[in-house]
A and B are shown apart, each in its own frame.
Chain A
Amino acid sequence: MAQDRLPSRSLSHSEAEIELGAAEPLAADEADSFASTQISSPTRDAWRRFRRNKAAIIGLTVIVLMMIMAVFAPFMHTSDPTVPDPNVINGGPSPIHWFGTDYVGRDGYSRIVYGLRVPLIVGFIGTAITVIIGTLVGLIAGYVGRTIDSLLSRFTDIMFAFPGFILALIVVSLFGAAADSFGMGGAGRVLLLTVVFAAVGWPPLMRFVRSLALTMKEQQFVEAARTAGSRDWGIMRRHLLPNMWGLVLVQGAFIVVATISNETILSIFGLTVQQPNPDLGSMLFFGVQNIDNSYWQVVFPGVVLAILILALTFLADGIRDAVDPRARG
């Protein structure tokens, strides 16, 4: 245990290193053992707590691996995911088709590798945009207050009335076909999905950031900054944002989970990338149509989706426990 070590001993140790000219930043696990001599910052503390959380590290590893698979799909697949092989319709798992084939004979494994792309793109890029919108609107509403606050808050109230999933459902069903017409290989549809989820995800985050900004702007460090002549924009950027980004990150991680879930449900209903382009949710849907005699069409995409979402949830929980240990459920 790093904390049990006497401060004096580790202090002299690190001083000796500096004398020897080893002044470059300490490597990750060395930094851990010298925790007591490091200047602790909330970020560094959070990172240390995060590294100790096994479930979170496993989650992070799984997600990184899946991202690598999705990015390098052209090198990972065994056959073209969109080209059917009429000789092996509904074929079971075999050395050639590891995860079996689907109802027109397309390779299940290759479709999963390519199918990971859609949820990952929509989930991460959509959430990144929604987090930026939510943080900006919430920060401005909470810090500036008055008329601007009530305008932005009423607008958020209206957005709240729409369940995000339903709004995404209606927008994609009304505009999906149009998006397909100007995209190559379903890219238009993916863009539409990303924009839609970016547009529907931010209201809860806006309320959260607004309440943080409301309490923070009354505190002394903000008052001090204002007395010292900082402008409002500078205070928001240099004093409020650095103090809330950890909590925003936690919310963002949970939004990724929700976005990927909702994207998959839309894809089960046939609203995301159209056949023959691969997507995990639609694989699941077509697999269920054929449930009686080919279990592999359901089990493989289902298990991959379950692993993806479980990993994301563990990661999100880990980030929350690291950033805000008291919130641990």
Chain B
Amino acid sequence: MALLTFTVRRFLAMILILWIVLTIVFAMARLSPYDPIAQIMQQHYQVAQAAQIRHEFGLDQPMWKQYLNYVGGLLHGDLGKSESQQTLGQPVWSLLQHGVPVTMKLGFYALVLSLVVGLPVGLLSAIKQNSFVDHGSQAIMMVLYAVPVFVLVPLAQVVIGVQLRWLPVTGWGAPGVLGFKEAILPVTLYAAGLTGYFAKSYRSFLLEVLSQDYIRTARAKGLKARIILYIHAVKNTLVPLASIVGPVVAYLITGAFVIETFFGIPGIGYITVESIFNSDYSVIEATTLLLAAFVVLVNFLTDVVYALVDPRVRL
């Protein structure tokens, strides 16, 4: 019962935060000195025509009405209209909708790869603490974690893609091309930083758990080392793992922007960066809302999972 009240309360808080987030985005867009109409028309600016476009976008209405229209539109899944010259008046969602599955797929592959590599490496260096294996693998993981993705990507493109010509550097996600070869470089480089982060964090989580009294008790009563590790210790590292969900999500989002831009993968990061170059601010606003909603949703789910595994949180 306590879990249900907790979940409902968290859910209401999530809705409230989403509302505040969209209000802030709306306020920023309206406070900006930038005039989309002037941008669209540029040197062909005519007062009558400008007024007509302004009317079509609903920008001639009073501010409170614009706000209601905006919120009402969002409730109906309308993220606004494009403001760039090429795609003027098209719904923003029609520009973004093809990018969402691409970005999600890319992020999912990278996340799985980094978990599959990072956690076992962290586990190995924890059980062989202070050995050669530990120091060696932790040094490699430290470099993977610390070298920023926006440096790794262009350097890898120069060496592997251009000098050695082993792997293609573009093409993934383009219509018709969903090849394995095109995916190797972007997914690996996307996963590199996360792998290092998981390996480093998991090592310290496991060491923390292994130093606890109940592990000593288990050892003292003669349980096999393997059972202690996999049944007793690993299970209890899942709770601290939930605490790094926030940084991981932040990494996935910035990483999506960088990877998609450098590799020309048409996900929402790439579309948003393109719209920055085209001064299409409605797309940037929509992406901000989508990603903020994603973060709020992940935070909500993390809280609920936390409450499920650790009853003390529900208070």
Task: Tell me whether B253 is interfacial, beta carbon within 8 Å.
Answer: yes
Known: A163-B249, A269-B257. A299 touches B295 (CB 8 A): no
B146 near A310: Cβ-Cβ < 8 Å = yes
In the complex, A329→B204 CA distance in Å? 5
Give the size of the chain A interface in residues (CB under 8 angstroms): 44
Nearest chain B CB to A176's CB is how many angstroms away?
A: 9
Q: Which 4 residue pairs of A and B lie closest in terms of their CB atoms, listed nearest first?
A: A174-B32, A313-B146, A329-B204, A306-B151
In the complex, A136→B155 CA distance in Å? 41
Contacts of A271 in B (CB 8 A): 276
* Chain A residue with the shortest CB-CB distance to B275: A173
Nearest chain B CB to A10's CB is how many angstroms away?
A: 31
Question: Quick one: which of B25-79 are within 8 Å of A by CB?
Answer: 25, 28-29, 32-34
A309 near B147: Cβ-Cβ < 8 Å = yes
B277 near A163: Cβ-Cβ < 8 Å = no
Contacts of A157 in B (CB 8 A): 13, 17
Contacts of A158 in B (CB 8 A): 17, 20-21
A162 near B21: Cβ-Cβ < 8 Å = yes
Q: Is the contact region of chain B dominated by helix, strand, or loop, or is it mixed? A: helix
A166 near B258: Cβ-Cβ < 8 Å = no
Known: A161-B295, A169-B288, A302-B155. A265 touches B28 (CB 8 A): no
Tell me which of A31-39, A99-107, A280-288 binds B. Answer: A280-288
Contacts of B151 in A (CB 8 A): 284, 302-303, 305-306, 309
Known: A170-B285, A268-B258. A163 touches B292 (CB 8 A): yes
In the complex, A281→B154 CA distance in Å? 11
B163 near A295: Cβ-Cβ < 8 Å = yes
Question: Quick one: which of B146-172 are within 8 Å of A by CB?
Answer: 146-148, 150-151, 154-155, 157-158, 161-163, 169
Question: B20, B262, B281: which contacts A288 (Cβ < 8 A)?
Answer: B262
Contacts of B155 in A (CB 8 A): 298-299, 302-303, 306
Mask for A292-317, Cβ within 8 A of B = 1, else 0? 10010011001101100110011000
Known: A265-B150, A292-B162, A306-B151. A162 touches B295 (CB 8 A): yes
